[in-house]
Amino acid sequence: MRYPFFTALPLFILLGCSTQQQITSSGNGDISNIDYSSSYQLTDREYGTKTTMELRNGSRIMKTNALPNHPTGQFPNAGNPNRISAQNAKYTFP
């Protein structure tokens, strides 16, 4: 097969047109029923975590507030003056 990219392209387009799932967690961390081959959204009410993953034009686009979905230590503190706060992060993966 000389052009595997062009053979796989229709598959990527087909998968990219699927519907988006929304998974909401209240801290139990059960994400076993997510179809990671399509678009999806993860939210955690207990910790405020919000992450969406989209498939667009052959790329995965992750948008997240970058909050952890687990307990953390107290910040700032004497050993670490930084804070944990919501961000507006976007990552694109080919």
17-26 pLDDT, tens digit per residue, is: 555 555 555 5
Shortest CA distance to 18 belongs to which of 35, 42, 33? 35
Distance CA 40, CA 33 (A): 11
Shortest CA distance to 92 belongs to which of 58, 68, 46? 58
Q: Is the pLDDT of residue 84 over 60?
A: yes
DSSP string, 52-71: EEEEETTEEEEEE----SS-
Say if pTM beats, i.e. exceeds, 0.75. no
Residue range 20-68, pLDDT digits in tens: 555 555 555 566 788 888 899 999 999 999 999 999 999 999 999 999 9
**51 sits in which H/E element:** strand 49-56
What pLDDT does residue 92 have? Answer: 97
In this structure, of 18-22, 30-34, 80-84, 90-94, the range with the lowest mean pLDDT score is 18-22
CB-facing half-sphere around the CA of 49: CA atoms within 13 A: 21
